[in-house]
Amino acid sequence: MLSPLQGIRVLGLEQYMSAPYCTMLLADAGAEVIKIERPGSGDPRRSIPPFARGEGGAQKAGGFMAYNRNKKSLALNLRSPEGRDVFRELAAQSDVVVENLRPGASAKLGFDYEDIKELNPRLVYAAISGFGRMPGFSGPYSDRPAFDIVAEAMSGMMNLVGFEDKPPAWTIYGLADVYSGMCTAYGIMLALFMREKTGAGQFVDSAMLDNMLALNERMVALYSVTGHSPQRGRLRHLFPRGAFRCSDGYLALNVPDDTVWKRLCTAMGRDDLIADARSASGTARAEHANELQPIIEIWLQDKTRAQAGDLLNASGVPAGPVYSAEDVFADAHVAARKMLQPVQDPEVGEYRFARSPVLLSAVHQHEAAPAPALGEHTRDILGDVLGYPMERIAALEQQQVVQSVAA
């Protein structure tokens, strides 16, 4: 069965999370992704715990395994002139380059978009950075490096996470990286679709700060409309929203309007709260949250998360249990959706990772190939893609321009 990106070749000048996650999405869709790695050490995430361990002492970093399935590894020394020549030859025969190097690094290597498009005008060149690199859109932070938490903080998102009497808190590790990877994959697809019409590639600029600010659009809209800056803690215009204790854990509940509030009251057997002045509107409920929360929790205290969730959902009140990782892995619906994709690694065995989230009716879900060993595909890429004879490949290995598993 045809895959959406079958026949598309992607070069990943990538490390850590954002660009590897982007190219993983492309690889899952059938693209040939060639991951460019430094000989000797490779992507830094190869050495970041936790590690999956196999028989005989083999180990692989879990984060690297999760974000690098279905890819090929080319260990290439880009600090050498010969290594840079190899990269240019590959770029001339590729459709997409994705990079998340430190700002300025690709230009120093001679690999920025202006350099590469001269070799391949059809190339789509996507750059992920903290603050953006598009000419005409540069700002005072454009040359700064950034990790995910910086983008969370400067987008205003971190200021909204946590409790009003506690310091700001981050959301989940790597959220800005993963979301930026998704946004960049979307931008690449737009550019490839446009190339079908124009025949020309283009530069795709993906800034982590931009991506997180767009994700935090509710803050932007509220401030634009009201002039008030939302703060962390309880919302001022609606209640209930949050996690409420059941007999075996917590249930997530959100009541965005009076209609859903009426349904909740009826489900709890408390129709008297529908017209009560303290709870008749979202603003009133927010003002009297300290009185209403115990009422909800008393009703929930003798019910499991599953019992309460079933009852509320049947009443038209969306609710769901607050899951741990163990709960997710045991959930029947997650299993039915095949969200946890098994990946069989020849060195450390089988593990499950989250699949790409979007399903297409005409695309079969293929078995995932494991994350590659460092330089696992070096010889194949140089021989099959660039047509190098084995003697030349051996010479590049001897000069430490490339590294191969078999070398």
Phi–psi pair at 160, nearest 5 degrees? -100, -5
d(CA 152, CA 129): 14
Residue spans of alpha helices (H) in 93-216: 105-109, 113-119, 148-154, 175-198, 208-215
- The tokens for 378 are 């070096």
| Single-letter amino acid, residue 270 | R
d(CA 222, CA 235): 12
Element spanning 378, H or E? helix 378-380
- The tokens for 325 are 């990782």
d(CA 216, CA 287): 25
d(CA 208, CA 128): 7
Query: How would you label 111-128 residue by residue, b for 16+ Cβ within 10 Å and e otherwise?
Result: bbbeebbeebeebbbbbb
The dihedral sign for the CA sequence 41, 46, 50, 54: negative
384 classed as catalytic: no
- Write the DSSP assignment of 273-325 as a string of letters: GTS-TTTSSHHHHHHTHHHHHHHHHHHHTTS-HHHHHHHHHHTT--EEE---H
Query: How would you label 211-229 residue by residue, b for 16+ Cβ within 10 Å and e otherwise?
Result: bbbebbeebeeeeeeeeee
Phi–psi pair at 201, nearest 5 degrees? -80, -175
DSSP state of 381: I
First to last CA, the chain: 35
Active-site option among 112, 148, 177, 205: 177
| Single-letter amino acid, residue 205 | D
Q: Would you name the residues annotated as active-site residues?
A: 177
